[in-house]
Amino acid sequence: MDAGRKPRVGIIGTGAIGGFYGVMLARAGFDVHFLLRSEFSTVVEQGLQVNSAQYGALSLKPVQAYASAEEMPLCDWLLVGAKTTSNLQLAPAIIQAAAPDAKVLLLQNGLDVEDGLRAVLPESLHLLGGLCFICVHRAGPGQIEHQALGAVNLGYHSGPASADPVLSQAIVEEGAALFREAGLDSKVMGNLQQARWQKLVWNVPYNGLSVLLKASTTPLMADPDSRELIQNLMQEVLLGAAACGHVIPDAYAQQLFKSTEHMPDYWPSMYHDFLHQRPLELAAIYAAPLAAARAAGCELPKIQALYQALSFIDRHHA
């Protein structure tokens, strides 16, 4: 990349997350290119709209939109906004759109989501994980509803800087600076696995229960049984994390629980997948942490039961 030039950003999977962060970066002056699938023609015709409780009505038009990665220019940063269930299918697009030493940032929930992709990406590409603390969903083609929050915490996973902590830290800082330039909070996480476990403290209970109980956060937080279930599931995530060497203080779970009471009523992204008969992110959000905890000698029976019920739903809802 030329010194002084702003990095070129590619969005691989322009849904709620990809669309929101892509629009914010484009508005901050970055050269952003969007890979789309089903919404390609609508977005070419009508642009991308973000209806944000925080920033008001934002619009990006025209959009540098592509139906194929082969037409995209080589990008310095690739932000993957697809669901984890699409990662392997998207690997050729990521490789195609990546500049020679590009940074690939997975803006996704779950554990070990980088591992599957790492195995198929060239060694020259840096791979990072990003945890998005945001409530956002697609309301229609190219239409993104942003209800609350927006921070992204980043950590280095692997690549040419794996053995060089100074370089990997600098790369993660560069990524966090992109988001900060777009007016969003972004922290550097020294330990990506720890950060992923922390995020699971929220996603394990709320994502799955929203599908199983067909309830958004407000009713889930209002009912004594679901409140207890959420707290028990959170405790099991802490146990699993600790067994894997990541101690998360109980106060962290308590604070997430409390802050959910003050969030606007919210349907987690897994519920939107259920509603639209898309595959659920069960491997990343349930199977991977269960397997990691089990390998460390720790069984998590409530999470296991939730996972089994969701697996049934996932197989039968399409």
Ligand X SMILES: NC(=O)C1=CN([C@@H]2O[C@H](COP(=O)(O)OP(=O)(O)OC[C@H]3O[C@@H](n4cnc5c(N)ncnc54)[C@H](OP(=O)(O)O)[C@@H]3O)[C@@H](O)[C@H]2O)C=CC1
Ligand Y SMILES: CC(C)(CO)C(=O)C(=O)O
Residues within the interface to ligand Y (CB under 6 A): 109, 132-135, 149, 202-203, 266, 268-269
Residues serving a catalytic function are 199
Interface mask (CB under 6 A) for ligand X, residues 111-150, using x and -?
A: ---------------------x-xxxxx------------
Comparing CB distances to ligand X, the nearer of 161 and 237 is 237
Comparing CB distances to ligand X, the nearer of 139 and 295 is 139
Given the rule CB under 6 A, which of 32-40, 120-128, 162-170, 305-313 is the region that contacts ligand X?
A: 32-40
Residue 94 CB, nearest approach to ligand Y (Å): 22
Q: Does 159 bind ligand X (CB under 6 A)?
A: no
Compute the distance between CA of residue 218 and CA of residue 63 in angstroms, rounded to an integer: 35
Site residues (CB under 6 A) for ligand X, limited to 3-22: 13-18
Residue 167 CB, nearest approach to ligand X (Å): 27
Comparing CB distances to ligand Y, the nearer of 164 and 185 is 185
Site residues (CB under 6 A) for ligand X, limited to 263-292: 269, 281
Q: Does 157 bind ligand X (CB under 6 A)?
A: no
Residue 209 binds which entry of ligand Y, ligand X, none, with Cβ cut-offs from 5 to 8 Å by kind? none
Residue nearest to ligand X (CB): 15
Comparing CB distances to ligand Y, the nearer of 271 and 307 is 271
Residue 270 CB, nearest approach to ligand Y (Å): 9
**Residues facing residue 10 across a β-bridge:** 33, 78
Q: Does 39 bind ligand X (CB under 6 A)?
A: yes
The answer to whether the Cα torsion of 91, 134, 311, 288 is positive or negative is: positive
Comparing CB distances to ligand X, the nearer of 161 and 221 is 221
Residue 269 CB, nearest approach to ligand X (Å): 4
Residue 91 binds which entry of ligand Y, ligand X, none, with Cβ cut-offs from 5 to 8 Å by kind? none
Residue 193 CB, nearest approach to ligand Y (Å): 17
Residue 307 CB, nearest approach to ligand X (Å): 16
Residue 90 binds which entry of ligand X, ligand Y, none, with Cβ cut-offs from 5 to 8 Å by kind? ligand X
Comparing CB distances to ligand X, the nearer of 35 and 244 is 35
Residue 35 binds which entry of ligand Y, ligand X, none, with Cβ cut-offs from 5 to 8 Å by kind? ligand X
**Pairing state between β 75-80 and 8-12:** parallel
The amino acid present at 128, given as its one-letter code, is L
3-state SS of the chain is CCCCCCCEEEEECCCHHHHHHHHHHHHCCCEEEEECCCCHHHHHHHCEEEEECCCEEEEECCCCEECCHHHCCCEEEEEECCCHHHHHHHHHHHHHHEEEEEEEEEECCCCCHHHHHHCCCCCCCEEEEEEEEEEEEEEECCEEEEEEEEEEEEEEEECCCCCCHHHHHHHHHHHHHHHHHCCCCEEECCCHHHHHHHHHHHHHHHHHHHHHCCCCHHHHHHCHHHHHHHHHHHHHHHHHHHHCCCCCCHHHHHHHHHHHHCCCCCCCHHHHHHHCCCCCCHHHHHHHHHHHHHHCCCCCHHHHHHHHHHHHHHHHCC
- Which residues form the interface with ligand X (CB under 6 A)? 13-18, 35, 37-39, 81-84, 86, 89-90, 107-109, 132, 134-138, 269, 281
